[in-house]
C-alpha cells in the first residue's frame, strides 16, 4: 500500500483523482438535470408522429412526455434514443385498477411490444387527478392502477418507474414555502400514493405553473418574479430563512415541504410540466414565453433553495394545439404546427 510522504509525492495523483471525481459528479448532475418536452396531440394540423420524433432529434431534445400510448408515436420512437414518459390516460384508470388482466394487456401492448427499441423511463398513471379539481371520479382508481401497472411491469422483467402526475392544487398551504402542506381534503388520496412511491424509490411527478399563479394574482406577484428575471430576493421565508428570487422555486419548495409532512421526505420531484403561453392570456407574449422557458431550462440544473439537486423537467409543450380551450390553452408550443420554432431555445 502506498503512503503519502511529507514531500507530497502522491499529491498530483490525489489531486487528479479528486478532479476526475468532481467532473464525474458534475456530469451526473447534468444528466439528472436534463430537460424534455411534452408532446400533446390536441390539434388537427400537427405533423406526423415520425416528423415529430425527427424534430426532437434534430433539436437534441433528450426526452418526451407522451400522454397516451399512441401507437404511431411509439413506432416512431423506435431506435430514437429519446427517453419516454408514457401516460396512462385518466379514462383508462378504472379498467386497469379493477382488472389485473387489463393492466397486463396494457403493459404488453404498449410497453413490452416496444421495450427493445424504445427507452421507457416512466409510466405516469393518471394526470392531475384530484378530489377537488373536477375529476374526482378517478380518485379511487389511481393507486390500484399504479399497483397493477407496477406488477405487470415487474412480471415482464422490465425496470420502468411507475408514478403519477399531480398539480399544485393539492396544496392546502403553499406560502411561505416551508409551510407547504397538502390540504386536509386530499390527504386520504395523496398519502397512500406517497407511501407507494417511497416504497418503490420512485419520484413524484408535478405539473408546476407559475403562469397561472401570476395570472390569478397580478396585484401581488410581479412579472419578473414569475419569469425568473428578478435581480434580487423577492420573498424571504420567515420560518426557514431561505430567500426566493423566483416563483417557480417557491412552488417547488412548497411541494417538498408538503411531502415531508406527509412522510415523503426522501421523495424526489420530477417537473412533468411547466411552461408559459405565447398568446391568449395575461402577459402571454412570445418574448415572455421565451424568457420563461429559456430560464427554466437553465435554472433547473441548480435546483431550489431548499434542495440544490438538479430537477428533471419537461417543458409544456412541443406544439400549439388548436383543439384546446380556452384560447390561452392553444398557445403553449415551442413550435408552430408547421414545425417552425417560435424562438431559439437550447436543450443541450
Q: How confident is the prediction along the chain (348 residues), in pLDDT tens digits per residue?
A: 333 333 333 433 433 333 343 433 333 333 446 899 999 999 999 999 999 999 999 999 999 999 999 999 999 999 999 999 999 999 999 999 999 999 999 999 999 999 999 999 999 999 999 999 889 999 999 999 999 999 999 999 999 999 999 999 999 999 999 999 999 999 999 999 999 999 999 999 999 999 999 999 999 999 999 999 999 999 999 999 999 999 999 999 999 999 999 999 999 999 999 999 999 999 999 999 999 999 999 999 999 999 999 999 999 999 999 999 999 999 999 999 999 999 999 987
pLDDT tens-digit map of 237-273: 999 999 999 999 999 999 999 999 999 999 999 999 9
- Of 83, 128, 321, 328, catalytic: 128
Q: How many CA atoms lie within 13 A of 296 on its CB side?
A: 30
Cα four-point dihedral sign 214, 300, 76, 127: negative
Position 2 scores a pLDDT of: 31
Catalytic option among 83, 273, 312, 321: 273
**Residues near 79 by Cβ (< 8 Å), separated by ≥ 6?**
117
Domain boundaries, the chain: 37-330
SS3 state of residue 103: helix
| Superfamily the domain 37-330 falls into | Glycosidases (3.20.20.80)
Q: How far apart are CA 169 and CA 212, in angstroms?
A: 11
Active site residue 238: no
pLDDT value at position 347?
87
Predicted confidence at residue 269, as pLDDT, reads 98
In the prediction, which pLDDT does 330 show?
97
Host H or E run for residue 154? helix 139-155
pLDDT (0 to 100) of residue 133: 86
CB 347 within 8 A of CB 63: no
Is 328 one of the annotated active-site residues of the chain?
Answer: no
SS3 category, 250 = helix
Q: What is the pLDDT of residue 20?
A: 40
Give the number of residues written for the chain: 348
Amino acid at each position: 500500500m502506498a503512503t503519502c510522504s511529507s514531500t507530497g509525492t502522491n499529491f498530483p495523483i490525489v489531486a487528479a483523482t479528486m478532479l476526475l471525481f468532481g467532473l464525474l459528479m458534475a456530469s451526473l448532475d447534468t444528466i439528472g438535470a436534463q430537460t424534455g418536452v411534452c408532446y400533446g396531440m390536441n390539434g388537427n394540423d400537427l405533423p406526423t408522429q415520425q416528423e415529430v420524433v425527427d424534430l426532437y432529434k434534430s433539436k437534441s431534445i433528450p426526452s418526451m412526455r407522451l400522454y397516451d400510448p399512441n401507437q404511431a408515436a411509439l413506432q416512431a420512437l423506435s431506435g430514437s434514443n429519446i427517453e419516454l414518459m408514457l401516460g396512462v390516460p385518466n379514462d383508462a384508470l378504472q379498467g386497469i385498477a379493477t382488472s389485473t388482466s387489463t393492466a397486463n394487456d396494457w403493459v404488453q401492448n404498449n410497453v413490452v411490444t416496444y421495450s427493445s427499441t424504445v427507452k421507457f423511463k416512466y409510466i405516469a398513471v393518471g394526470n392531475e387527478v384530484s378530489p377537488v379539481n373536477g375529476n374526482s371520479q378517478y380518485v379511487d382508481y389511481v393507486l390500484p392502477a399504479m399497483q397493477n401497472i407496477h406488477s405487470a411491469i415487474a412480471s415482464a422483467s422490465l425496470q420502468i418507474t411507475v408514478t403519477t402526475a399531480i398539480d399544485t392544487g393539492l396544496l392546502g398551504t403553499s406560502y411561505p414555502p416551508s409551510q407547504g402542506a397538502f390540504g386536509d381534503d386530499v390527504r386520504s388520496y395523496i398519502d397512500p400514493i406517497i407511501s407507494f412511491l417511497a416504497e418503490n424509490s420512485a419520484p413524484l411527478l408535478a405539473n408546476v405553473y407559475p403562469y397561472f399563479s401570476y395570472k390569478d394574482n397580478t396585484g401581488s406577484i410581479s412579472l419578473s418574479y414569475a419569469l425568473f428575471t428578478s435581480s434580487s430576493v423577492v420573498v424571504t421565508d420567515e420560518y426557514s430563512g431561505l430567500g426566493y428570487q423566483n416563483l417557480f422555486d417557491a412552488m417547488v419548495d412548497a411541494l417538498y415541504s408538503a411531502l415531508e409532512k406527509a412522510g415523503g421526505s426522501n421523495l424526489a420531484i420530477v417537473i412533468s410540466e411547466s411552461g408559459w403561453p405565447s398568446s391568449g392570456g395575461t402577459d402571454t407574449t412570445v418574448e415572455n414565453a421565451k424568457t420563461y422557458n429559456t430560464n427554466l431550462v437553465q435554472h433547473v440544473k441548480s435546483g431550489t433553495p431548499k434542495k440544490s439537486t438538479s430537477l428533471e423537467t419537461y417543458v409544456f409543450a412541443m406544439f400549439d394545439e388548436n383543439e384546446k380551450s380556452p384560447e390561452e390553452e392553444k398557445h403553449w408550443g415551442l413550435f408552430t404546427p408547421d414545425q417552425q420554432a417560435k424562438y431559439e431555445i437550447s436543450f443541450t
